[in-house]
Amino acid sequence: MNNIAHLLIPVSIACFTLVAGGFLSSTRALPATSNPLTLWYDKPAASQKQTYINEALPIGNGKSGALITGGVGEELLRLNEISLWTGDLNPKGVYETMGEYQALADLIIRLSSVNTPQNYRRDLNLATGQASVSYTSDGVNYRREYFASHEAGIMVVRLTADLPASYSGTVSLQDRRKGGFTQALNNLLLMKGTLPNGMKYEGEVLAIPDGGLVTAHDGVIDFKGCNSLLLLVGTGTSYIMDSTRKFQGEDPHDAVSAGINAASKQSFEELRAVHFKDYQALFGRVVLDLGSSTPEQRAMPTDKRRLAAAQVTDPELQQLLFQYGRYLMISCSRPGGLPANLQGLWNDSNNPPWHSDYHANINIQMNYWPVEVANLSECHMTFFDLVESQLPCWRETSKDSGDLKTPEGRPATRGWAIRTSHNITGGMGWKWDKTANAWYASHFWEHYAFGNDREYLRRRAYPLMKEVCEYWQDHLKALPDGRLVVPHCWSPEHGPSEDGVSYSQEIVWDLFNNTVQAADTLGVDKEFRDRIATMRDTLFVPGIGSWGQLLEWMAEKRDPKDKPLDTPEDHHRHTSHLFAVYPGSQINLLKTPELAKAAEISLKARGDLGDVREWSFAWRCALYARLHQGDLAESQIRGFFGKTCPNLFGNCPPMQMDGNFGITAAISEMLLQSHEGNIVLLPALPSVWSAGSMNGLRARGGFEVAITWREGLLSEAGISSKLGGKTSVVWNGRSVTIDLKAGENRVIKPSDFSSVPKAG
């Protein structure tokens, strides 16, 4: 364990500086009442057509989760289990029959004799992974605490008060699908049901009182005169990641009951301690300080503050937004579960927007942009597990599709493709996004690039990457001049489908380039590697258009109504043709400066107005960061705040979560980049972040980094390596080379760069 990335720092500390050995120490502490990592509100979540997802606070353990509404007389927790899906293989690809992610149940706590509350507060502390509600009524101080424990596999709710015997009321568990049944057995609520596709689901709530009386009747638990009440909540389904079993495993009852029974033998404090240790092992890896907010900014509830932050930079709220993406990822994507979908794992509808599916034209990819750089590499595994579990189905569907024939008219016999949407049981929907297979493969490579796990590369990543390469060996089309193009693809979700669309060209280039590096690393398949390298170098490269822009298609286009596309007035939400800038690396300031300039012109023309969505701001922020435009990147963070829900979930509209993950990745890119084969410190530092620190971001090659800066200039940086390795470190256009042994740290100061001439 190295000193830089794994140092656990008290969360009340908001500013740090590097000292010898790479540790960070405190230079400024905030008042205890102003925790920069807490979302807080002075009222419960409001219902809009019975939809709370825009305002409720989320907790999750990677498998199950809840949306906490925080009502006073009636507390409603909308429960989710990430594998609760309708649908099946859906071989015809009809979007409407693909299935949908489902809401599980409502846990409702009704309290007796609650008058108008005072001093109400509802909050979510990202540092502890715990939510709470507190208020005063009739002179009694009431408090509720909520967390979702990955270690215990359950959710925990505790109700306490400072006066004995203050709690009376009822607890009920209502099936959101209304197709199952709920029964109360002593102090246990049990809900069971089966979906039309055969998937079984279950929820259990165990009520443990301190004092008072608990009874059960008609599917409801009554509690009376309790000093406190502890609720243990477990959920499960019969889903299994196994296509040979049609994704249907065992009835979840035994597993859910075992989790509840094991947790019931522990106290609340013991359960919370285990949860906190597990959660902080991930969350505590990265500490970020972007400067001080004003007392006026800190005094505002988060729902009001985020609107103000869209207009005026609020550095502590930007810091919170960065960490919120990490919190959400830890909460909804843990090894052994499923990856984050369009809504993470939270859902309060059985007819959610876009089925709350896995969208392959950017959305699920954006979900996983931050995991490697923001030091949550384990969370990436759920995505890999899902993809690999779906491959047998995707291969057969691709082979049988008449839409995926080779340029010579033959069926697809090698590899696989995916449609724009897919579920968790092999089914896909809507139109084919043909190069999404290559984009998925890039995630397999990036996991290796950051961690240098050669066994993972050999066993998992390289075979998948090679198979996708074989698909594109068969499906690329040669132009008369010999250049290779992806035939009849689109630029999501903009303009016509045709040959040589920049988006698709760039993604296949990325696939081939990564696969060449993978083969070289493993020392295998030289003949195959050389063919792929030749094809990479023969791919059509996007050109520069009449007004200096990077072309989105092979030539400038008009839509069916003869309106020019991709003009300075075209403010489309997508910037698909800039994939090569981010998350790809084909276009960069170092090796392709003319194309990088054209990309910048395109990006500025797309702008911040019109069709721009919350995830658009996240992608634009990352793009500006890669182009070293720090002030413009920071403006996109402010734009993102203007497009969030009150609970800071992204709001397209409607709510979707990819932007939350994307903005975390983008802020990381502003502070640290490693896609050009080196480590670049503070490449896009905006002027409003004049002083700050970062501890724990990762760079490709197995490095972890800590940085402090003052007056917009580097103070110190610490570089560490678990495995050892050599790299160059770049700051302000100058480069120094370091060669670390396994476990070694190196502290770098501005003076280390002073004797080195600037590049160029």
Same domain, yes or no: 488 and 439: yes
Residue 246 in any domain: the answer is: yes
- Among 10-14, 470-474, 491-495, 579-583, the least confident range: 10-14
**pLDDT above 70: percentage of residues in the chain:** 95
Residue 673, H or E segment: strand 672-673
Q: Supply angle C-alpha 583, 519, 417, rounded to 5.
A: 55
Pick the residue with more confidence: 412 or 466? 466
Query: Under 8 Å CB-to-CB from 469, ≥6 apart: which residues?
Result: 511, 512, 515, 528, 532
What mean pLDDT comes out for the span 15-21?
33
What mean pLDDT comes out for the span 666-691?
98
| Residue 311 scores a pLDDT above 70 | yes
Same domain, yes or no: 484 and 545: yes
Residue 421, H or E segment: strand 419-422
What mean pLDDT comes out for the span 716-720?
97
Number of neighbours of residue 699 by Cβ within 10 angstroms: 24
β-bridge partners, 28 = 15
pLDDT band at 7 (very low <50, low <70, confident <90, very high): very low
| Residue 199 scores a pLDDT above 90 | yes
- Among 8-22, 146-160, 680-694, the least confident range: 8-22
Q: Supply angle C-alpha 689, 693, 694, rounded to 5.
A: 115
The token pair that represents 558 in the structure block: 């008009």
Same domain, yes or no: 743 and 612: no
Measure the CA–CA gap between 69 and 54, rounded to whole angstroms: 10
Taking each helix axis as running N to C, give the angle between helix 502-522 and helix 526-538, from 0 to 180 degrees, rounded to the nearest 10: 150
pTM of the model: 0.94
Same domain, yes or no: 170 and 308: no
Same domain, yes or no: 591 and 707: no
Of 603, 633, 659, which residue sits at a domain end? 603
pLDDT (0 to 100) of residue 665: 98
Of 194, 224, 254, which residue sits at a domain end? 254
pLDDT digits (tens, 9 = 90+) for 445-496: 999 999 999 999 999 999 999 999 999 999 999 999 999 999 999 888 888 8
- Domain tally for the chain? 4
| Residue 543 scores a pLDDT above 60 | yes
What mean pLDDT comes out for the span 107-130?
93
- C-beta of residue 561 within 8 angstroms of C-beta of residue 551: no
Identify the sign of the CA torsion 393, 396, 399, 401: negative
pLDDT band at 691 (very low <50, low <70, confident <90, very high): very high
Can you tell me which residue has the tokens 């305002």? Answer: 55
Same domain, yes or no: 592 and 702: no
pLDDT digits (tens, 9 = 90+) for 601-626: 999 999 888 788 888 999 999 999 99
Residue 568 in any domain: the answer is: yes
pLDDT digits (tens, 9 = 90+) for 634-646: 999 999 999 999 9
Of 603, 627, 654, which residue sits at a domain end? 603
Same domain, yes or no: 534 and 589: yes
Same domain, yes or no: 17 and 60: no
Same domain, yes or no: 659 and 711: no
Measure the CA–CA gap between 120 and 107, rounded to whole angstroms: 21
- Among 277-281, 430-434, 754-758, the least confident range: 754-758
pLDDT digits (tens, 9 = 90+) for 34-59: 588 999 999 999 876 567 999 999 99
* Domain assignment of residue 496, given as a range: 358-603
Same domain, yes or no: 532 and 544: yes
What mean pLDDT comes out for the span 573-595?
95
pLDDT digits (tens, 9 = 90+) for 236-273: 999 999 999 999 999 999 999 999 999 999 999 999 99
Residue 285 in any domain: the answer is: no
Measure the CA–CA gap between 276 and 262, rounded to whole angstroms: 18
Instruction: Residue 78: give its domain's CATH number.
Output: 2.70.98.50
What mean pLDDT comes out for the span 642-668?
95
Residue 320, H or E segment: helix 315-332
Q: Where are the alpha helices (DSSP H) in 377-461?
A: 381-400, 436-451, 454-456
pLDDT band at 27 (very low <50, low <70, confident <90, very high): very low
What mean pLDDT comes out for the span 363-376?
97
Measure the CA–CA gap between 285 and 60, rounded to whole angstroms: 19
pLDDT (0 to 100) of residue 509: 98
Distance in angstroms between the alpha carbons of the first and the last residue of the chain: 38
